[in-house]
Amino acid sequence: MQVTDLDRVRTLIVGIGALGGTIATRAAAAGMPVRLAMRTAESARAIRSSGLRVSGVGGPAAAASVEVAALEEYADRFDLVLLATKAHEALEISQLLSHRLAAGGTLLCIQNGGVAKMLFDRLGEVVLGGLSNLGATMVEPGVYEQRNAGHLLIGEVNGGASERAERVARFLGGAIEMRTTPDLPGAVWAKLLLNCSVTTIGAIAGRTMRHYVATPAGREVFRRAYDEALAVALAGGTRPQRMIVDPIPPEGEYDAWIDRVLEAYGDIKPSMLQDFERGRRTEIDFINGYVAQLGRELGVAVPINAAITDLVHRIERRELQPDPARLDELARLGG
């Protein structure tokens, strides 16, 4: 994104769900020059007549009139495309989106896990990575709730100082809290380690981490999934950043370290469990599946992450249900 006059940044937000809808509402309410892309012309028409509203943390905001259309209806070029679909859809439409970028344009992706890196490998330097610590839900199309005072953290996919990340942050900062980092890989892996362990294992067990880690099998599966993912990060040359808890368990202090993880994340209902409950496709291929794929490429053993990925696919297909007994099966795997 090269435009220096922030009023002239031609911006397209793609995916007007929980996160994209929250950002789009706050941007449109602030008078920012954003256009919105939805999956179908029908859903775009509905938003055009209803407008957008957000409530919750950060205060209420509304935009009665928004420029919105189905993605394929756009023929224009944009300086900034903010990609806020789920991971699979991001991969599916990325090529199309690259043709919607103006010269020097930026595609900012904010999905968890390996998405930004995969898109960078396909599309190159146009891709800027991001992570959302902002939590949001969609009450119904056009109506969103911001759940926390979080921010979007953005930076270059392979790390390094970035003038364009600063510009994008200044622009989007008109809508939501933005931060930049020269170490996006470290931040992405810090979150990925927790998603691979705290979140996915909780979803498989149908329990919070505090519940499942109290059993020997739950504790064992957590330790092995986390250690494998950490080994993959380090083998790939990334040291995960510290978030609330040090990402590398200190030697000889494992129990105290687990307690700190529990204190920070032990009572969160796993978002993947909500995907199971709603019969929605999960993002497992970009979380444990991504770790398993990278592990194979780097020669790091990843049996638990591979088995977790398969298990989640079976739960998605309704062949199995989330149950703590699943963790006994995983713990019995050799490794």
Ligand X SMILES: NC(=O)c1ccc[n+]([C@@H]2O[C@H](COP(=O)([O-])OP(=O)(O)OC[C@H]3O[C@@H](n4cnc5c(N)ncnc54)[C@H](OP(=O)(O)O)[C@@H]3O)[C@@H](O)[C@H]2O)c1
Q: How many of the other CB atoms lie within 10 Å of CB of 146?
A: 25
Q: Which of 121, 144, 143, 116 is nearest to 132 (CA)?
A: 116
User: From the CB of 25, what's the least distance to ligand X, in Å?
Assistant: 12
- Taking the least distance from each CB to ligand X, the nearer of 15 and 206 is 15
If the CB atoms of residues 21 and 185 are measured against ligand X, the closer one turns out to be 21
Q: Which of 289, 306, 314, 318 is nearest to 91 (CA)?
A: 289
Here's the x/- map for ligand X, 12-41, by CB under 6 A: it reads as --xxxxxxx----------------xxx--
Contacts of 156 (CB under 8 A, 6+ apart): 128, 129, 162, 165, 182, 184
93 binds ligand X (CB under 6 A): yes
- Rounded distance between C-alpha atoms, residue 255 and residue 149, angstroms: 31
112 lies in the site for ligand X, by CB under 6 A: yes
- Edge-to-edge strand order for the sheet containing 52-56? 61-63, 52-56, 143-146, 136-140
- One residue of 132, 162, 181, 200 binding ligand X per CB under 6 A: 132
Interface mask toward ligand X for 264-283; x: CB under 6 A: -------------------x
CA distance 227 to 249: 9
Q: Are 265 and 133 in contact (CB under 8 A)?
A: no
How far apart (Å, rounded) are the C-alpha atoms in residues 158 and 151? 20
Q: Minimum distance between the CB of residue 211 and ligand X, rounded to whole angstroms?
A: 23
Using rule CB under 6 A, residue 87 touches ligand X: yes
Measured distance CA(113)–CA(44) in Å, rounded: 29
Q: Are 323 and 206 in contact (CB under 8 A)?
A: yes
Number of residues interacting with ligand X: please give it, by CB under 6 A: 26
Tell me if 165 contacts ligand X by CB under 6 A. no
Decide: is 63 part of the binding site for ligand X (CB under 6 A). Answer: no
Residue 122 · residue 164 · CB < 8 Å: no
The nearer residue to ligand X, 253 or 267, going by C-beta atoms, is 267
Give the side-chain half-sphere CA count within 13 A for 129: 28
- Does residue 71 bind ligand X (CB under 6 A)? yes
Question: Whose CB is nearest to ligand X?
Answer: 17
Give 135 or 236: the residue with its C-beta nearer to ligand X: 135
Taking the complex as a whole, the smallest distance from the CB of residue 194 to ligand X amounts, in Å, to 12
Q: How far is the CB of 329 from ligand X (least distance, A)?
A: 27
CA distance 80 to 77: 9
Q: Which stretch binds ligand X (CB under 6 A): 105-113, 159-167, 171-179, 213-221?
A: 105-113
- Minimum CB separation of residue 14 from ligand X in Å reads 5
Nearest distance from C-beta of residue 19 to ligand X, angstroms: 3
Closer CB to ligand X, residue 110 or residue 205? 110
The reply to whether 100 sits near ligand X by the rule CB under 6 A is: no
Cα 237 from chain centroid (whole Å): 21
Q: Which stretch binds ligand X (CB under 6 A): 8-16, 44-52, 97-105, 243-251?
A: 8-16
Nearer to ligand X, 15 or 266 (CB): 15
User: Hunting for tokens 């031609």 — which residue is that?
Assistant: 10
Smallest CA-to-CA distance from 321 within 312, 308, 309 is with 312
* Among 220, 231, 193, 204, CA closest to 309: 204
Chain residues that interact with ligand X, rule: CB under 6 A: 14-20, 37-39, 43, 71, 84-87, 89, 93, 110-112, 132, 135-136, 138, 283
